[in-house]
Amino acid sequence: MEGNLFDYIFLSTLYFMFLLIWLVILGIGKFAPKYLDPVRSFLTLYIGGLLFVRYNPLTYKDRNFREFDRRLIFTCSIFLLFSTALISGIRKRIEKKAGPIVQDNISEIKDNIGIKS
């Protein structure tokens, strides 16, 4: 694969994000939800910075458009279009499933220490 460190960081983070999303969707791994927002934030900022640096009008004139560039633009557009909706849906699913469990645990703790709701 022709590329550099920035290409590797982008692809590695993107694949890690997809892995976390699937772990959350499938309900495997309780750690995935807490890492989803930081990874999404990092990837969004990284995409913005990478696109700004690589394709700004001052420096892009001297570059060849590589296969990685095509892949980068397509993947970034898909990520930016669907990540917000997908992450919101996953968050709602987690809150729906975990909400009653958390509420029951809070009620039990309050009962144990004598706090009335």
Type of residue at 36: L
Question: Full-prediction pTM beyond 0.85?
Answer: no
C-alpha span between 116 and 86 (Å, rounded)? 38
Name, in order, each residue with C-beta under 8 angstroms of 23's C-beta and a sequence gap of 6 or more. Answer: 29, 32
Residue 31 confidence (pLDDT) = 59
SS3 27: coil
C-alpha span between 117 and 110 (Å, rounded)? 8
Domain boundaries along the sequence of the chain? 5-84
3 dihedral zone (left: phi>0; alpha: psi -120 to 50; beta): left
Q: How far, in whole angstroms, is CA 22 from its chain's centroid?
A: 11
Cβ(43)–Cβ(17) below 8 Å: yes
Q: What is the pLDDT of residues 1-15, one digit of tens each?
A: 456 787 788 778 778
pLDDT-flagged residues of the chain (< 70)? 1-3, 21, 24-36, 87, 117
C-alpha span between 24 and 19 (Å, rounded)? 9
